């Protein structure tokens, strides 16, 4: 009776309804509900053995899923770590960003031990997103500290680089084919390139001063794709000639594109400002969009904050509000299918 009353007197709020775009591509969602509820599970990443690791930010833990058996295990972290993200090194160690205690941590799955690296500057408060370059150096952002960090695992040395623009809030970070880190500015209309040798920062200003960028990714041709989160657009920066082009996201200027990943040169991102959160596919060759509501246990109330591809060409996402880690099975492009079949020969 209570459910009937609520449904009758409080109908669904459609003020944030998305604009779904139909198309021919078929995808499927496979969900896992994490054991500790309310942990804000996020940022899943695939290990070399096929297992999936995630950060349980509010649960102060990291977790692992065996996608074959469905078995999950969670590991507590040092007090007040509140991991914002996780990434993996070549040896299979899990590195987390201690967003609330100014640390980077290395978790060894074999021994279940943790090595903690503390920020050398008291103003470096909030390690955010991290990624390894080909030389094994860990690069990371510190959003509200307005810095980019460099950690050498061999020596333990941490270098901190101040952003050129105050309050530019470095957020997402990726490494290009030349080993250069690229950083998205969540508080300003900029992208930033880091020279890994000189540690010099090059700031690229985006045209609209109202632009803010949560995350970015890099295609095989070197193009820098980014989400114009504040303006509801998808953008592309050409580092070879400086050209910038943007496309309106299907659900409009308030769609707040958030996470982004490129799989087989197809751009995937989400519209976090809409309910349900929409997963969007963009084909750069045809400039065509297609989108899907993300089920999240049929609640349709979560948000993707980071997404990354798997070795099989699928996509790992999450819904941090509804305790879900999700693998999206993607239909590969003909070019990608041919490339993978050649690798299997």
Q: What is the pLDDT of residue 68?
A: 97
Across all residues in the chain, what is the average pLDDT? 95
Statement: residue 340 has pLDDT above 60: no
pLDDT in tens, 131-187: 999 999 999 999 999 999 999 999 999 999 999 999 999 999 999 999 999 999 999
Per residue in 45-68, pLDDT tens? 999 999 999 999 999 999 999 999
pLDDT: which is higher, 8 or 205 = 205
Band (pLDDT 50/70/90 cuts) for residue 343 is low
pLDDT tops 80 at residue 344: no
The predicted pLDDT at position 345 comes to 54
**Nearest 5°: CA angle at 11, between 10 and 12?**
120
- Kindly tell me the burial class for residue 56, based on how many C-beta atoms sit within 10 Å of its own C-beta (0-12, 13-18, 19 or more): buried
pLDDT for the residue numbered 3:
60
- Which contacts of 110-115 are long-range, i.e. CB under 8 A and separated by 24 or more positions? 112/75, 114/77, 114/78
Alpha helices per DSSP H over the chain: 2-9, 334-344
The percent of residues above 70 in pLDDT, for the chain, comes to 95
Q: Residue 285 — pLDDT band, cuts 50, 70, 90?
A: very high
CB 107 within 8 A of CB 96: yes
Higher pLDDT, 120 or 345: 120
Q: According to the model, what pLDDT value does residue 334 have?
A: 72
């Amino acid at each position: 009776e209570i459910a009937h009353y609520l449904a009758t007197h409080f109908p669904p709020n459609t003020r944030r309804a998305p604009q779904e775009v139909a198309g021919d591509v078929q995808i499927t969602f496979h969900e896992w509900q994490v054991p500790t509820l309310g942990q804000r599970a996020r940022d899943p990443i695939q290990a070399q053995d096929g297992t999936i690791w995630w950060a349980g930010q509010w649960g102060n833990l990291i977790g692992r899923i065996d996608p074959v058996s469905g078995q999950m295990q969670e590991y507590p972290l040092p007090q007040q770590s509140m991991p914002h993200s996780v990434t993996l090194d070549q040896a299979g160690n899990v590195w987390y960003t201690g967003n609330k205690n100014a640390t980077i941590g290395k978790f060894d799955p074999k021994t279940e031990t943790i090595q903690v690296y503390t920020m050398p500057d008291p103003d470096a408060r909030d390690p955010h997103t991290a990624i390894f370059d080909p030389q094994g150096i860990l690069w990371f952002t510190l959003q509200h500290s307005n810095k980019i960090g460099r950690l050498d695992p061999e020596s333990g040395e941490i270098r901190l680089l101040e952003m050129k623009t105050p309050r530019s809030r470095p957020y997402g970070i990726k490494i290009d084919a030349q080993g250069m880190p690229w950083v998205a500015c969540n508080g300003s209309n900029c992208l930033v390139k880091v020279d890994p040798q000189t540690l010099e920062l090059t700031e690229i200003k985006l045209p609209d001063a109202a632009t803010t960028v949560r995350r970015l990714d890099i295609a095989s041709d070197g193009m820098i794709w980014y989400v114009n989160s504040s303006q509801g657009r998808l953008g592309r920066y050409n580092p070879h000639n400086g050209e910038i082009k943007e496309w309106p996201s299907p659900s409009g200027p308030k769609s707040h594109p958030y996470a982004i990943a490129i799989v087989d040169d197809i751009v995937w991102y989400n519209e976090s400002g809409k309910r349900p959160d929409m997963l969007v596919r963009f084909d750069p060759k045809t400039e065509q969009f297609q989108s899907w509501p993300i089920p999240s246990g049929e609640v349709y109330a979560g948000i993707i904050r980071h997404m990354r591809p798997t070795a099989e060409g699928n996509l790992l996402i999450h819904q941090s509000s509804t305790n879900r880690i999700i693998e999206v099975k993607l239909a590969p492009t003909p070019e990608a299918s041919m490339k993978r079949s050649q690798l299997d020969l």
